Amino acid sequence: MNFKKRISIIGGAPNSGKGSYGQLFEEKRGLIHYSTGDALRQSKDIPEVLAAMGKGNLAPDDLVMRMTAEKILSTEKEMLLDGAPRNLYQLGWLEGWAEKNNYEMFFFFLDVPEEELWRRLNNRIKDFQEKGLPPREDDNPEAYQKRLDIFNEKTLPAWLEAEKRYPKNFYRISAVKDIKDPEQEAYALGILVDSTLPF
């Protein structure tokens, strides 16, 4: 089957750098970076969802996927999804939607050890404090631990399943080094470029 378009999907644990890599791919390769988390935080129409996120919980699956599908269809450019799929249900939903709408999916998973994730969280909280600003509500340690637990219990299995189902379209990126490092930037962009080459 010939696919008309491709969807790139970036994943990893909270604080793995999805936003930074998404911004890089957008600036250097022209992809449209769409973060479901940012989209939900910026929405003023769903206060109950924002309250749940502040406690470390996830937004309802159908809401996330509906917003995601609408965003994909809103542009002719390649979309880089950040924040979905977060569980096996969302993976199945996205698979069915992509097949129905003639899209091919490519997955990019950011590998970062847990101790590095916590170091980044603490540094971000410290940075907000030094600037006299309150941290994001879902950046407190208790909420972050809950987000990490949910990632390991629900999100990671979905990505491991995607790796099994789409081995030729699945790429792991070692994301410990600072993305501002020119070598790390070149390495990440190289993987993205490789994904566009024919097998």
Could you state, in order of their start, the residue ranges of all structural domains in the chain? 5-194
Question: Is the per-residue pLDDT at 46 higher than 70?
Answer: no
Q: What is the CATH number of domain 5-194?
A: 3.40.50.300
Which token pair is 143?
Answer: 């909420």
| Residue of higher predicted confidence among 49 and 119 | 119
Q: Whole-prediction pTM value?
A: 0.87
DSSP H or E run through 35: strand 32-35
Query: 55 is written with which tokens?
Result: 């406690």
pLDDT value of position 36: 83
Task: Write the CB contacts of 105 (distance below 8 Å, at least 6 apart in sequence).
Answer: 6, 7, 9, 94, 95, 98, 162, 166, 169
Give me the mean pLDDT over the 178-196 stretch: 92
Decide: 64 and 89 in contact? Cβ < 8 Å: no
CB within 8 A of 119, min separation 6: which ones? none
Q: Rg of the chain over CA atoms, in angstroms?
A: 17
